Amino acid sequence: DIQMTQSPSSLSASVGDRVTITCRASQSISNYLNWYQQKPGKAPKLLIYGASSLQSEVPSRFSGSGSGTDFTLTISSMQPEDFATYYCQQSYTTPYTFGQGTKLEIK
Amino acid sequence: EVLLVESGGGLVQPGGSLRLSCAASAFSFSVYEMNWVRQAPGKGLEWISYISSSGITIYYANSVKGRFTISRDNAKNSLYLQMNSLRAEDTAVYYCARAPGYSRNSFDFWGQGTLVTVSS
């Protein structure tokens, strides 16, 4: 199975901060990397697919980059509604594994 | 608006069975690949099963292979997960999730989830 490792596991940030989360795959997954946001008690929401494509209706402050094994999710200016847990997921091959999550908290 | 609504969760004893359903509406269900993803309390996300639009191609995570069966009824716009030989570690919120055609198995719409609790 492909292991997905996110860093950091948690992060404190302030409104307006630029935040970057990284995701590393245990083997090359080309650009088959997706990012999700999850708020407590809610289903995950797709933010980025194909490593860098912004899902419809997702604010442009979210961006993704990377290919092969190393990927990043960047939030250019944190907004109050962005404090949540973020997961990466590889869709290169089954099982479609997720990272362990990164919890963004208010500083 | 695309809607996925799961049902069928509940409390079941270890070794028991449960059948989850996911009712889809407001999109052409029959042309979309579908998945089940679960989340144990306080834990991360775990993909557990995939089914192609026709139902011919199916995949499972090793953790559920041989115990869970995914299926679909395109005439009823419904996805199912038959869960047998349930264990305590199967306790989780179970989500059905749609895979959009423009991206290989990202999940663009999710249901609200249904909680399965395996306990005596």
Q: Tell me what pLDDT residue A102 has.
A: 98
* pLDDT tens string A28-82: 999 999 999 999 999 999 999 999 999 999 999 999 999 999 999 999 999 999 9
Closest CA–CA distance from residue A41 to any residue of chain B (Å): 9
- CB neighbour list of residue B106: distance below 8 Å, 6 or more residues apart: A34, A46, A49, A50, A89, A91, B99, B100
> Residue A103's closest chain B neighbor by CA?
B44
Residue B102 has pLDDT above 90, yes or no: no
Confidence of residue B13 (pLDDT cuts 50, 70, 90): very high
- Residue A9 per-residue DSSP state: S
Q: What is the mean pLDDT of residues B51-66?
A: 97
d(CA B11, CA B5): 19
**Among A residues 35-54, those touching chain B with beta carbons less than 8 Å apart:** 36, 38, 43-46, 49-50, 53
Find which of A45, A57, A93, A96 to mutate to test the B interface (most B CBs within 10 Å of its CB): A96
Point out the residue among B35, B95, B103 whose CB comes nearest to the CB of A50: B103
Q: In angstroms, what is the C-alpha Rg of chain A? A: 13
User: Would the CB atoms of B44 and A87 count as touching at under 8 Å?
Assistant: yes
Residue B110 has pLDDT above 90, yes or no: yes
Residue B104 has pLDDT above 90, yes or no: no
Closest CA–CA distance from residue B96 to any residue of chain A (Å): 10
Q: Which long-range contacts (CB under 8 A, 24 or more apart) does B37-41 make?
A: B37/A44, B37/B94, B37/B95, B37/B96, B37/B97, B37/B107, B37/B110, B38/B90, B38/B92, B38/B93, B38/B94, B38/B95, B38/B116, B39/B92, B39/B93, B39/B95, B39/B113, B40/B89, B40/B91, B40/B92, B41/B91, B41/B92, B41/B93
Q: Tell me what pLDDT residue B103 has.
A: 79
User: Would the CB atoms of A91 and B59 count as touching at under 8 Å?
Assistant: no
User: Would the CB atoms of B106 and A46 count as touching at under 8 Å?
Assistant: yes
Residues B116 and B68 sit within 8 Å (Cβ to Cβ)? no
User: Would the CB atoms of B103 and A89 count as touching at under 8 Å?
Assistant: no
Which of B100, B106, B95 is CA-nearest to residue A64? Answer: B106
Q: What is the mean pLDDT of residues B91-114?
A: 94
Residue A1 has pLDDT above 90, yes or no: yes
Q: Tell me what pLDDT residue A72 has.
A: 98
d(CA B109, CA B97): 6
Point out the residue among B44, B47, B105 whose CB comes nearest to the CB of A101: B44
Q: Tell me what pLDDT residue B47 has.
A: 98
Share of chain B above pLDDT 70, in %: 100
